């Protein structure tokens, strides 16, 4: 019974290379469709209005604000100019009180502005770094936003764990600016970006061959540099640079042959955003633990392998988190002691046999592997769209990846990289480079604020 359930799961989550090639092709097609016209694809391909990425020559003092998952961060960077890069940086991380994630827009922004004000007060104490100049801020806001300029944009919808109805359709920069004013904080929001654009900018600052920034954290998204004349839906004047960063919002990618199981369908139906963000629900940190929980629950209800247990915890949505499955998946003790501990502590499942613990590890492996392989197919899709998948252009191309899932779930990132090689061929290793961009999303907004202000 239990073995059969796992075998079914394995089969349904299978991602042979042929399927992944089709996923990559579908991603590339959706990219084109999304660039063609507004609403042309579920992959929105939003214009970021970032038409110049940092070069390494920016200088001055800039603040950054990063809101995307459960924490938000405020930071300050001093840029040295002329390739001296970052001279100093300070940052502070603050947890968002859960009730603010589904409250009102004004409450959320009031909280953010007050934390920012505290940070700025502490940082500016006794310094004259800003020399009376107005402080400049870059805002990383990692939800889909429709932009009209680099420093404004209306919220399209919430994703991940946020759901604040009255903010949808509002300009998030105006909301922030109003909240800052109420705090008496005199700061100019010079750029509004998301974490994928930030990762791209942060990595490009050090390496001019970076072509895309990708996030695998609580959610997932990607941004890349597109030729301005390859964006048919763009009606405005083309930028001098001839380029535009596209915020793909690829978390909403969907293709009818994606390997989706009954567990994914139930998760989606019971989520805050049913029918949406399907690719994100298969590949990102918010959901992987939850998928495994659903499999374990069915396993427990249909077989006797966990014995007589109280199902309260196992029935609680999101109770098993991705860091838990990561810890179990990486357990190298001979008797899988960590798996036993996690099952007991987190789910109240005690006294498991080694066989059962092995089965749990396999379930984690199936779910994480599918995620990593689909993630790699997405990257291959971008490279294909750019003609940089080795078929045409063999220039060095760097993809910068950030996010807690990629950073901390080693088997996920390893599998992502090997799958990408499998898809592009061994030779591609010479010119396609995947690298972990540490904290692009935080610093990226400050860097874009800086590169904008150089031209103001």
138 binding partner (options Mg ion, ligand ADP, none; Cβ < 5 to 8 Å by kind) = none
Give the span between the Cα atoms of 207 and 389, in whole angstroms: 19
Rank residues 291 and 380 by Cβ distance to ligand ADP and give the closer one: 291
323 binding partner (options ligand ADP, Mg ion, none; Cβ < 5 to 8 Å by kind) = ligand ADP
Active site residue 195: yes
- Least distance CB 429 / ligand ADP (angstroms): 26
Compute the C-alpha angle 262/263/266, nearest 5°. Answer: 85
147 binding partner (options Mg ion, ligand ADP, none; Cβ < 5 to 8 Å by kind) = none
Q: Is 441 in the site for Mg ion (CB under 5 A)?
A: yes
432 binding partner (options Mg ion, ligand ADP, none; Cβ < 5 to 8 Å by kind) = none
Rank residues 147 and 283 by Cβ distance to ligand ADP and give the closer one: 283
Give the span between the Cα atoms of 107 and 118, in whole angstroms: 17
326 binding partner (options Mg ion, ligand ADP, none; Cβ < 5 to 8 Å by kind) = ligand ADP
The residue annotated as part of the active site, out of 51, 66, 171, 195, is 195
Instruction: Show contacts with Mg ion in window 188-207 (CB under 5 A).
Output: 195
Q: Considering only residues 68, 144, 202, 378, which one is a binding residue for Mg ion as defined by CB under 5 A?
A: 68
The residue annotated as part of the active site, out of 42, 51, 66, 142, is 142
Q: Is 51 in the site for Mg ion (CB under 5 A)?
A: no
Active site residue 48: no
Rank residues 96 and 117 by Cβ distance to ligand ADP and give the closer one: 96
Rank residues 164 and 432 by Cβ distance to ligand ADP and give the closer one: 164
Rank residues 34 and 69 by Cβ distance to ligand ADP and give the closer one: 69
- Least distance CB 287 / ligand ADP (angstroms): 8
Picking from 251, 212, 245, 241, the residue whose alpha carbon sits closest to that of residue 226 is 245
Q: Which residue is nearest to ligand ADP (CB)?
A: 69
The residue annotated as part of the active site, out of 41, 48, 51, 73, is 73
Active site residue 73: yes
List the strands of the sheet with 243-247, edge to edge.
46-47, 243-247, 220-227, 210-216, 397-402, 432-436
Rank residues 70 and 316 by Cβ distance to Mg ion and give the closer one: 70
144 binding partner (options Mg ion, ligand ADP, none; Cβ < 5 to 8 Å by kind) = none
408 binding partner (options ligand ADP, Mg ion, none; Cβ < 5 to 8 Å by kind) = ligand ADP
- Least distance CB 327 / ligand ADP (angstroms): 7
- Least distance CB 269 / ligand ADP (angstroms): 21
- According to the 3-state scheme, what is the secondary structure of the chain? CHHHHHHHHHHHCCCCHHHHHHHHHHHHHHHHHHHHCCCCCCCCCEECCCCCCCCCCCEEEEEEEEECCCEEEEEEEEEECCCCCEEEEEEEEEECCHHHHHCCHHHHHHHHHHHHHHHHHHHHCCCCCCCCCCEEEEEEECCCEEEEECCEEEECCCCCCCCCHHHCCCEHHHHHHHHHHHCCCCEEEEEEECHHHHHHHHHHCCCCCEEEEEEECCCEEEEEEEEHHHCCCCCCCCCCCCEEEEECCHHHCCCCCCCCCHHHHHHHHCCCCCCCCHHHHHHCHHHHHHHHHHHHHHHHHHCCCCCCCCCCCCCCCCCCCHHHHHHHHCCCCCCCHHHHHHHHHHHCCCCCCHHHHHHHHHHHHHHHHHHHHHHHHHHHHHHHHCCCCCCCCCCCEEEEEECHHHHHCHHHHHHHHHHHHHHHCHHHHHCEEEEECCCHHHHHHHHHHHHHHCCC
- Least distance CB 190 / Mg ion (angstroms): 20
- Least distance CB 69 / ligand ADP (angstroms): 2
Give the span between the Cα atoms of 225 and 171, in whole angstroms: 24
Instruction: Show contacts with Mg ion in window 400-429 (CB under 5 A).
Output: none
Rank residues 326 and 428 by Cβ distance to ligand ADP and give the closer one: 326
Could you list the residues that contact ligand ADP (CB under 6 A)? 68-70, 217-218, 285-286, 322-323, 326, 403-405, 408-409
264 binding partner (options Mg ion, ligand ADP, none; Cβ < 5 to 8 Å by kind) = none
Rank residues 118 and 321 by Cβ distance to ligand ADP and give the closer one: 321
- Least distance CB 162 / Mg ion (angstroms): 13
Give the span between the Cα atoms of 281 and 267, in whole angstroms: 8
- Least distance CB 268 / ligand ADP (angstroms): 18
Catalytic residues: 73, 142, 195
Interaction site with Mg ion (CB under 5 A): 68, 195, 217, 441
């Amino acid at each position: 019974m239990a073995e059969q359930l796992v075998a079914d799961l394995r089969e349904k989550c299978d991602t042979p290379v042929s399927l992944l090639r089709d996923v990559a092709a579908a991603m590339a097609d959706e990219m084109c469709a999304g660039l063609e016209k507004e609403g042309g694809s579920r992959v929105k391909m939003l214009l970021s209005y970032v038409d110049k990425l940092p070069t390494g020559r920016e200088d001055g003092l800039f603040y950054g604000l990063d809101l995307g998952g459960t924490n938000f961060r405020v930071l300050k960077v001093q840029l040295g100019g002329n390739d001296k890069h970052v001279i100093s940086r300070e940052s502070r991380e603050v947890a968002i009180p859960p009730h603010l994630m589904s409250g009102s827009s004004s409450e959320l922004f009031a909280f953010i502005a007050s934390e920012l004000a505290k940070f700025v007060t502490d940082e500016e104490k006794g310094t004259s770094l800003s020399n009376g100049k107005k402080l400049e801020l870059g805002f990383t806001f990692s939800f889909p936003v429709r932009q009209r300029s680099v420093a404004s944009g209306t919220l399209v919808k919430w994703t991940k764990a946020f759901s604040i109805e009255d903010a949808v359709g509002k300009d998030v920069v105006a909301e922030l600016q109003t909240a800052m004013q109420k705090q008496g904080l005199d700061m100019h929001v010079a750029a509004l970006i998301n974490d994928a654009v930030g990762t791209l900018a942060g990595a490009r600052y050090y390496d001019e061959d970076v072509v895309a920034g990708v996030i695998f954290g609580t959610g997932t998204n990607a941004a890349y540099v597109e030729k301005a004349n390859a964006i048919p839906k763009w009606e405005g004047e083309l930028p001098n640079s001839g380029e535009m960063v596209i915020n793909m919002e690829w978390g909403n990618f969907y293709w009818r042959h994606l390997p989706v199981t009954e567990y994914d369908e139930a998760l989606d139906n019971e989520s805050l955003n049913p029918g949406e963000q399907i690719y994100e629900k298969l590949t990102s940190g918010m959901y992987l633990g939850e998928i495994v929980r659903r499999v374990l629950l069915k396993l427990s209800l249909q077989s006797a392998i966990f014995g007589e247990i109280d199902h309260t915890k196992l029935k609680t949505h999101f109770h098993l988190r991705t860091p838990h499955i990561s810890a179990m998946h990486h357990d190298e003790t001979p008797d899988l002691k960590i798996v036993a501990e996690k099952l007991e502590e987190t789910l109240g499942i005690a006294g498991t046999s080694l066989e059962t613990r092995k089965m749990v590890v396999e379930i984690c492996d199936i779910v994480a592997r599918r995620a990593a392989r689909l993630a790699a197919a997405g990257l291959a899709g971008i490279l294909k769209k750019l003609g940089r998948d080795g078929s045409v252009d063999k220039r060095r191309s760097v993809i910068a990846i950030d996010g807690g899932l990629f950073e901390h779930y080693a088997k996920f990132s390893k599998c992502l990289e090997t799958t990408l090689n499998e898809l592009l061929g061994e030779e591609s290793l010479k010119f396609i480079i995947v690298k972990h961009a540490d904290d692009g999303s935080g610093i990226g907004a400050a860097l874009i604020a800086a590169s904008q202000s150089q031209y103001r």
